[in-house]
A and B are shown apart, each in its own frame.
Chain A
């Protein structure tokens, strides 16, 4: 701003941001710091109370602020030995015997796909390309499958799952995200392309109707409860199948089916977001480009691959990054449908027990607060790194002056 500077400027800015700053310090940053402390202790069902005679706890621990009397009859909680024990309990499996090797084997299989992506980018820079893009992708995919079979990736995957519940739910969640993302994108793109066609009648109607699930996603827990009725043993799907004398399975009791149901329901919630955003991107592509392509005799498919998709990149990349993060953090949708089931037994995560669901169940069932603190810290670091990366992709912190 022009015409004001110096101490007054600092004071004015401070006055503007102070309320939010205080709010964030109290509501977000202090709980997080407190959480880091909890993560170093064995706080839990059996040691719920602090030892208020300890100076450190008297400062950090809100229970000690009002009265310093010893509460309860249980032994107060103390620092773990060694202090990072909670962390090694969670991710230690990654660093012990079969862990690193299995992780490496799983990661190696993805390399051909990355190679295909890179090769395609190189080829796209030239004027002519010796092989079309889909051939390169197909080659990469074939190599991946071959490699996966050679180094026995399913076995490596199983070993990885067995090396700890935290790792298990993370691997499953990542798999879930990898399955969901292309589905969201393709559905959103297809619907956006259809709705962008000016020669169709009734498009406005469909545009309105098709975003209804987005509204439902704000009360995800409730609509998920409605969704799960369809997939019960005597549910709507099986009733309809029954007309054709087909006995469908009890979907939510079988691992693969339950997983797919959660994918489907999340598609229901999320495709409107993709559809609406991609539609906005489509409308910003100049029509002249398509007209020129028509004159050159380019087919519909060629126009899609060479005009639409490249020009949609700036729209699609941010929403894919954002949606990857939200899908990773999926909670209410799963909780309403399966509660993380099918149930395998006490303490064993079911097929749809994704990271947040697992966290919630742990807080509820085992009440191992110290362990959950470590869980939160690890995820915070991971999510923070992912957010910084997404920032680079979406560039949304830039203000008006930059």
Chain B
């Protein structure tokens, strides 16, 4: 376990690491290569072209950004996902603090209800949500989708922040209390500033849940094209009769690269297990 590996073992370990790296990166690399290929060809008959860029053109990116409604989709997704995350943080933070710090009747039951809601997938709530939204006029509108996302995101945010408040030592707040600081002040002046990084990360994960969601968005905003979110738009692009693969790949690259960068930046939070039970497992 803890000794210097022999030369042969080292060779095998590096072989495994190389294979795994290929496995981990190739799909994304493949999309990058396809996005620079002229015409609507996803594949190339040229074997080398499958691994290194043998040709490169920005044409697909140009078409994607100027001729397709791609930027509108991006804007829609940004608006919807950001509103969901911000609203959920706004509503959920104080409850997270209460669940972490106060003892009250129904606390345990409340936490279990949270978990139950989180375990319940959004697809199954689709029928009642769609009925309610169409009765209230939110069907096919961005705010309807935001309301549909709120259910899951609010619980996620509250749950995640509660976990973070649990890790903040209570001593600071007790010191404040001796100086006459009530629960509200101790929340606003002590806990909130300490939780700022966690607030940011939780908001980011809440944002990403809305950003990548497909099923609710696909049903709740069926038309027109200009109102769709980016995931629905991309999926629709891949389902057309003659698929514009080059543009599709360009869109995929456009979406995936920022997310990868954000994840690499957040790596230490991932390793701290901040998101266990959160985004995806």
Contacts and interface: CB of A to CB of B under 8 A. Distances in A.
Contacts of B238: 225
B226 interface: no
- The dominant DSSP class at the A interface is helix
Nearest to A371: B127
B116 A387 contact: yes
A23 B91 contact: yes
B163 A376 contact: no
B95 A21 contact: yes
A268 B27 contact: yes
Contacts of B3: 199, 294
Interface in B86-108: 90-92, 94-104, 107-108
Contact of A214 (B30, B120, B125, B270): B270
Interface in B66-97: 90-92, 94-97
Interface centre among B10, B209, B214 (most CB of A within 10 A): B214
Contacts of B151: 24, 27-28, 31
B65 interface: no
Contacts of A276: 270-271
- The dominant DSSP class at the B interface is helix
A301 B215 CA distance: 45
A373 B120 CA distance: 13
Given A20-B91, A20-B95, A216 B100 contact: no
Nearest to B165: A400
A193 B164 CA distance: 28
A79 to B, nearest CB: 17
Interface residues of A, number: 117
Contacts, number: 317
Contact of A331 (B123, B235, B256): B123
Interface centre among A3, A190, A199, A219 (most CB of B within 10 A): A219
Interface string B154-167: 11001000110010
A13 to B, nearest CB: 5
A293 B1 CA distance: 10
Interface stretch (A58-66, A134-142, A152-160): A58-66
A240 B51 CA distance: 12
B211 interface: yes
A213 B24 contact: yes
Interface residues of B, number: 112
A380 interface: yes
A4 B25 CA distance: 56
B193 interface: no
B13 interface: yes
Interface of A: 1-4, 10, 12-13, 15-17, 19-21, 23-24, 27-28, 30-32, 34-35, 38, 61-63, 65-66, 190-191, 193-194, 197-200, 206, 208-223, 225-227, 229-230, 234-236, 239-240, 243, 268-270, 272-273, 276-277, 279-280, 287, 290-291, 293-294, 300, 303-304, 307-308, 318-319, 322-323, 325-326, 329, 331-332, 335-336, 356, 359-360, 363-364, 369, 372-373, 375-376, 379-380, 383-384, 386-388, 391, 396-397, 399-401
Which 7 A-B pairs give the minimum distances between C-beta atoms?
A20-B95, A62-B135, A215-B263, A16-B98, A27-B151, A376-B124, A31-B128
